[in-house]
Every structure is written in structure tokens, then in C-alpha cells.
A and B are shown apart, each in its own frame.
Chain A
Amino acid sequence: GQQVMQIPQYQHVQEGEDFTTYCNSSTTLSNIQWYKQRPGGHPVFLIQLVKSGEVKKQKRLTFQFGEAKKNSSLHITATQTTDVGTYFCAGRGTASKLTFGTGTRLQVTL
């Protein structure tokens, strides 16, 4: 079945440093979504990418969808403590259900 892996599993940065998480699917995706889960909370939708090579920005967050539509990345510029949480990608392949990635936990310290 479809598998979606994320790297790294965990990253600890100092406030102000940049952060990137990578998402890789075993199959081609029709679209990819990103979610953020704060500690103790539930996942919250951030964005959806649909087109090959698409790039979208939300303030300090930049999302990319690979040309082959099998990978994606989330880059955070100048991290802040409010960025702490686990970031999940989720992709839909040929099967109808959405498959979540393994997640990257981000810790930001002053």
C-alpha cells in the first residue's frame, strides 16, 4: 500500500534558525496537504498543494510539491517558539483515502 515517510523525525532548533521537513511518498500523489499539531492538541490543516512543482507561501512558511508529485517539503524561515509542534504531510494516491506521513516534531528554544 501507499507509504508516506517524513524526515527528520525530530528537530531541535534555536529561535531564528530555519527548519525544513521533507515528505516522500512511495506512489504518485494527486495532491498533498500539510497539518500542524501543537503539543496536546489535534492536527490542524495548513495548506493543500495540487500542481506539479507548485510552491505556496504562508508568511514564514514555504510549501513545495515536487515535479514528480511524489515528494513535498515545508520550510520555515526564522523559527519562533510558536512554531513548536509536529508537522504532518498527507497525500492522496490512487486509493481514495488520505495517507498521513510519519510526522516531524519541531522543538524551538530561545
Chain B
Amino acid sequence: GAGVSQSPSNKVTEKGKDVELRCDPISGHTALYWYRQSLGQGLEFLIYFQGNSAPDKSGLPSDRFSAERTGGSVSTLTIQRTQQEDSAVYLCASSLGVGGKETQYFGPGTRLLVL
């Protein structure tokens, strides 16, 4: 079956440009997470969507970062005025949601390089 997909798989951009990263979760999954992972580092939580609840944005590093989830499905992470320190792999994960069915299924990630 289809897993979590992310696009683009790789993105090279110039400092100061805006980028949009897309995540298509598994159909029916109500929970969606965005993480950032720098080379050799752990998972840095960015934002969490659960159903129709207000998203948990506590992990967003600055106001240059924002995310939307339209129709409870596809999510877009936008980084405005990119900086070199934004270079990382951005991972999206989805799960069925709370109630014990919380296994997170990760997408392959988007590798972002800001020159």
C-alpha cells in the first residue's frame, strides 16, 4: 500500500528564497508531524497536526517557518527567507492518531540545501 510521500526529495535553493515542502500522509491518518534532522543529529520536532484541533506549533524555530494541513490530509511546510542553517532533512510522519494506534510512519524526507 501507499506510504507517506514527500516532495521534492531534494531541494537546493539560494539564501533568502522561500521554499515549500509537501507531505502526503497515509490515507485515514489523522495525526501528522513535521521534524527536522541535521546531519548526524536527532529528530527536531517542528509541528504536529491532530484532526481538526489547533496544531501544536511549539517546535517551529522562528516565524519564518509555517505549516498548513488542508482538508485534514496533505500538509505543506513553508520556510520563508531561507538561511544556511535551515539546511537539513525535513521528515514528515503520520499516524492513525491517539488511542494506542500511534505508530508513526515516516516519509523519505526532503533534503534541503540552502546555498
List the interface of chain A (C-beta within 8 A of B): 1, 31, 33, 35, 42-45, 48, 50, 86, 88, 90, 92, 95-103, 105
* Residue in B95, B100, B106 whose beta carbon sits within 8 Å of that of A43 in the complex: B106
Q: Are A42 and B91 touching (Cβ within 8 A)?
A: yes
Q: Are A100 and B43 touching (Cβ within 8 A)?
A: yes
Q: Which of B52-109 contact A (CB under 8 A)?
A: 56, 58, 91, 93, 95, 98, 100, 102-109
Q: Name the distance in Å between B47's Cβ and chain A's nearest Cβ.
A: 10
Q: Are A43 and B33 touching (Cβ within 8 A)?
A: no
Question: A residues within 8 A CB of B33?
Answer: 97-98
Q: Name the distance in Å between B49's Cβ and chain A's nearest Cβ.
A: 10
Q: Are B43 and A97 touching (Cβ within 8 A)?
A: no
Question: A residues within 8 A CB of B102?
Answer: 31, 33, 48, 92, 98
Total residue contacts A-B, CB cutoff 8 A: 53
Question: B residues within 8 A CB of A95?
Answer: 56
Docked Cα-Cα span, A102 to B103, in Å, equals: 18
- Chain B's closest residue to A90 (CB) is B104
A-B contact pairs, 30 of them (CB 8 A): A31-B100, A31-B102, A33-B102, A33-B104, A42-B91, A42-B107, A42-B108, A42-B109, A43-B43, A43-B91, A43-B93, A43-B106, A44-B106, A45-B103, A45-B104, A45-B105, A50-B100, A88-B42, A96-B48, A96-B56, A97-B45, A97-B48, A98-B102, A98-B104, A99-B45, A100-B42, A100-B43, A101-B42, A103-B43, A105-B40
Question: A residues within 8 A CB of B104?
Answer: 33, 35, 43, 45, 90, 98
- Chain B's closest residue to A48 (CB) is B103
Q: Name the distance in Å between A56's Cβ and chain B's nearest Cβ.
A: 14
Given contacts A35-B104, A100-B45, 4 further A-B contacts (CB under 8 A): A42-B108, A43-B43, A43-B106, A98-B102
Given contacts A50-B100, A97-B48, A98-B102, contact A1 B43 (CB under 8 A): no
